[in-house]
Amino acid sequence: MPLTYVKAKEPGVDIAGATLPALLKNNAEKYGDQKVALREKEYGIWQDVTWRQYYEHVKYLALGLASLGFADDDSLAIIGDNRPEWVYAELAGQSLKGRPLGIYQDSILTEVAYVIDHSGAAFVVAEDQEQADKVLDMKDKLPLVKKIIYTDPKGMRDYDDPLLIYLPEVEKLGREFEKTNPNYFENSVARLTPEDLALVAYTSGTTGFPKGSLLTHTNMLKMALNLNQVDPKLPGDEFVSFLPLPWIGEQMMSVATALAIGFTVNFPESPETAMADLYDIGPNVVFSPPRVWEQLSRSVMVRHLDASWLKRFIYRLCMPIGYQMADFHFEKKTPPLGWKIMYGLSYMMLFRALKDRLGFAKIRSASTGGAALGPDVFRFFHACGVNLKQIYGQTEISGISCIHRADNVDFTSVGQPIPETEVKIDKPDSEGVGEIISRSPALFRGYLKNDEATKETIVDGWLFSGDAGYLSEGGQLVVIDRVKDLMKLTSGARFSPMFIENKLKFCPYIVECIVLGHERDYVTAMICIDYKHTGKWAEEHRIGYTTYTDLASKPEVYDLIEREVVRVNRVLPEKARIKKFLLLYKEFDPDDEELTRTRKLRRKFIGQRYIKEIEALYTDAGQVHVESQIRYQDGKTTTIKTDLRICMMKPIDQYALEDERKWWQFWKPVH
């Protein structure tokens, strides 16, 4: 029988008295100008920021805010790409006993206005003209905003709104303020306690408006240091910060852990250059959500198709060997000598260069979190020699409660609790499946302005996650799906849509999908093609197309995706196999409210928006006519009119079975 309770045995770490600004001060005194704390790529050149410079920017920004009237418990909203100024602002707000919070840089106007209004932010740090405009356009609805501090002056020359002020000017005000208020900053930092608020971290909002989770310095540092005991980071490590800083996962690495351990955080020039900049740095530590690992694996699979015949030969020869070695690792078996020799040769011929191309040549710690990663992607990276681990947690527990141990990676699970963390299954059924609950010193204080939701989420000191799962005999936590997302067919058969979706997304031509079937007779899917990779495939096969909608409607593309659905159906129980699917005319988009800003599916909203398409999947119709309005980030809309074909899958035994992929069948395509 599966376990229902497990507690990490390792001892916790004593951080009594520590706060994030105090750690910054200590690091500045310890390292001074001898060690780089932050690095930013600007105009193609990496610019270093030492620990002393980091501290001074935070200090004078904080003093400048104080001179503008920033007081205890004031909220400071920050919106923009990952930049040193982002973390300067966060630490400055904390130093003044304020409430810093992040807003996703691709948020539309109404989302920005909601978070600023809900948090009561009096000051906003906006990176550039685009982000400043979002606040200015809504300022009539945001009467509490006193100042908008911008960090990039490009395009701002002709702006004369009294709300606006340039960040270096605020730092200049801070230097003037210090002359008449000596030791103001130092005294403010010294009065902070570990239980003071450090961050208002807004949840992804899969079921509605995001909620503001109140996290203390103790919450964030306990999480960071306890995680570090089982997944060590070193002061000499390099980390690339390319995921949105409002996300708790990025906060965990770029702020809490970086300050606690003292490693260097690197900021890419832009989101578009993040992967190239990651290659420049060659980080020792990488933490990314599943979509990044899925994107990387898709890119590798597509690139090998464009390579020379020799490189394709080597790829198809070596990948099955890598997969077999990964399976030995997962099964905790010692590989036979022959396999070790073959993998050593494969590493020399393929995997070493592949890791280097991905920027993983020096990687020591690789992890993924935020959602479940499909087992196929896990096998792919372990085959390449990247010891990828799954992290599990929620914003409300500072991001982390479980992680795989380096020598015990089981891709069907999300690992074991980190030190000082307890995980339990609430009300398990006969199979040990129930709601996952947890508690630790990293558990948040509650939701901002939402006592009712706080009482529903924290019960007797336990965080109720809303996830369904069980604990294996070895104490590994297995997450099945969200409790509310588990589906049941009319026959009574249960299935996890997320599991099937992850299997589908391990395909270079599928970027997103949603699996349906709750209280229906069979399982169906709506699939979004990967425009870049599918378009490249179409060009290679001389298939003309104009737009995403046109490409997704091509019969050849339907045939391509059907083969991928067959691949997935072969490993699913008969009742959980996809019977019908259609290709959507567009990708799911956060701007259309179909995804959260962390790219999680909003299933309820999608079910309402695509009700016509979904109902057609459960009729005898061969196609469905749609007229849909798409909203862009600037608020403009357009209408798409098209006919979507519905593909009916044949019984699995009617498809030509693929030969089993043995290592010596190197001429076969390898996914």
pLDDT digits (tens, 9 = 90+) for 532-545: 889 989 998 999 99
Confidence of residue 147 (pLDDT cuts 50, 70, 90): very high
Question: Residue 198 pLDDT more than 50?
Answer: yes
What is the predicted pLDDT for the residue at 288?
Answer: 86
Summarize pLDDT for 323-337 with one digit per residue, the tens. Answer: 999 999 888 889 999
Q: How far apart are CA 391 and CA 404, in angstroms?
A: 7
Distances (CA, A) of 3 to 216, 420, 476, 652: 32, 19, 9, 36
Question: Residue 29 pLDDT more than 90?
Answer: yes
Question: Residue 148 pLDDT more than 80?
Answer: yes
What is the predicted pLDDT for the residue at 9?
Answer: 53
User: Cβ-count burial of 223 within 10 angstroms (0-12 exposed, 13-18 middle, 19+ buried)?
Assistant: buried
589-609: average pLDDT: 85
Summarize pLDDT for 65-101 with one digit per residue, the tens. Answer: 999 999 999 999 999 999 999 999 999 999 999 999 9
Residue whose tokens read 């992929």: 661
600-627: average pLDDT: 92
Confidence of residue 473 (pLDDT cuts 50, 70, 90): confident
Percentage of residues of the chain with pLDDT beyond 90:
63
Question: Residue 508 pLDDT more than 60?
Answer: yes
What is the predicted pLDDT for the residue at 666?
Answer: 38
What is the predicted pLDDT for the residue at 583?
Answer: 96
Give every CB contact of residue 454 below 8 A, 6+ residues apart in sequence.
446, 447
Q: How far apart are CA 281 and CA 46, in angstroms?
A: 10
Q: How far apart are CA 118 and CA 613, in angstroms?
A: 35
Question: Residue 7 pLDDT more than 70?
Answer: no
Q: How far apart are CA 57 and CA 168, in angstroms?
A: 9
CB distance 644 to 583 below 8 Å: yes
What is the predicted pLDDT for the residue at 430?
Answer: 78
What is the predicted pLDDT for the residue at 291?
Answer: 81
More confident residue, 84 or 357: 84
Q: How far apart are CA 274 and CA 292, in angstroms?
A: 11
Indicate if the alpha-carbon torsion angle 265, 266, 272, 275 is positive or negative: negative
Question: Residue 577 pLDDT more than 60?
Answer: yes
What is the predicted pLDDT for the residue at 5?
Answer: 67
Q: How far apart are CA 64 and CA 532, in angstroms?
A: 46
- Beta bridge mates, 626: 642
Summarize pLDDT for 117-133 with one digit per residue, the tens. Answer: 999 999 999 999 999 99
Confidence of residue 311 (pLDDT cuts 50, 70, 90): confident
Q: How far apart are CA 87 and CA 355, in angstroms?
A: 30
Question: Residue 364 pLDDT more than 80?
Answer: yes
User: Which secondary-structure segment (H or E) carries 578?
Assistant: strand 578-583
Q: How far apart are CA 588 and CA 606, in angstroms?
A: 9
Question: Residue 669 pLDDT more than 70?
Answer: no
* Least confident segment among 182-191, 240-249, 356-365, 655-664: 655-664
350-368: average pLDDT: 91
Distances (CA, A) of 415 to 187, 221, 423, 440: 42, 21, 11, 16
Mean pLDDT across the chain, nearest whole number? Answer: 89
CB distance 263 to 236 below 8 Å: yes
What is the predicted pLDDT for the residue at 228?
Answer: 93
617-637: average pLDDT: 79
The bridge status of strand 75-79 relative to strand 99-103 is parallel
Question: Residue 10 pLDDT more than 80?
Answer: no
Confidence of residue 598 (pLDDT cuts 50, 70, 90): confident
CB distance 581 to 650 below 8 Å: no
Confidence of residue 207 (pLDDT cuts 50, 70, 90): low
Indicate if the alpha-carbon torsion angle 166, 172, 177, 182 is positive or negative: positive
Question: Residue 11 pLDDT more than 70?
Answer: no
More confident residue, 338 or 486: 338
Confidence of residue 343 (pLDDT cuts 50, 70, 90): very high
Question: Residue 659 pLDDT more than 70?
Answer: no
CB distance 561 to 580 below 8 Å: no
Query: Closest Cα to residue 389, out of 439, 479, 501, 381?
Result: 381
Amino acid occupying residue 554: K
Q: How far is CA 35 from the centre of its chain?
A: 29
Summarize pLDDT for 217-270 with one digit per residue, the tens. Answer: 999 999 999 999 999 999 999 999 988 899 999 999 999 999 999 999 999 998
Of 130-134, 268-272, 472-476, the range with the highest mean pLDDT is: 130-134
What is the predicted pLDDT for the residue at 410?
Answer: 84
506-517: average pLDDT: 90
What is the predicted pLDDT for the residue at 464?
Answer: 94
Neighbour tally for 627: CB within 10 Å: 9
The bridge status of strand 365-368 relative to strand 285-288 is parallel
Q: Is 238 helix (H, G, I), strand (E, B) or coil?
A: strand
* Least confident segment among 2-16, 237-251, 389-403, 564-578: 2-16
Q: How far apart are CA 434 and CA 426, in angstroms?
A: 5
Question: Residue 206 pLDDT more than 70?
Answer: no
Of 407-421, 486-500, 539-553, the range with the highest mean pLDDT is: 539-553
Query: Closest Cα to residue 439, out of 482, 393, 406, 476?
Result: 393
What is the predicted pLDDT for the residue at 562?
Answer: 94
Using CA atoms in the order 53, 54, 56, 58, what is the torsion angle rounded to 10 degrees?
Answer: 160
Question: Residue 390 pLDDT more than 60?
Answer: yes
What is the predicted pLDDT for the residue at 658?
Answer: 44
What is the predicted pLDDT for the residue at 3?
Answer: 65
> Which domains, and CATH codes, for the chain?
20-192+251-259 (3.40.50.980), 290-482 (3.40.50.12780), 486-654 (3.30.300.30)
Helix spans in 437-530 (H): 451-457, 497-505
131-144: average pLDDT: 92
Percentage of residues of the chain with pLDDT beyond 70:
93
Question: Residue 194 pLDDT more than 60?
Answer: yes
Q: How far apart are CA 52 and CA 547, in angstroms?
A: 51
What is the predicted pLDDT for the residue at 122?
Answer: 94
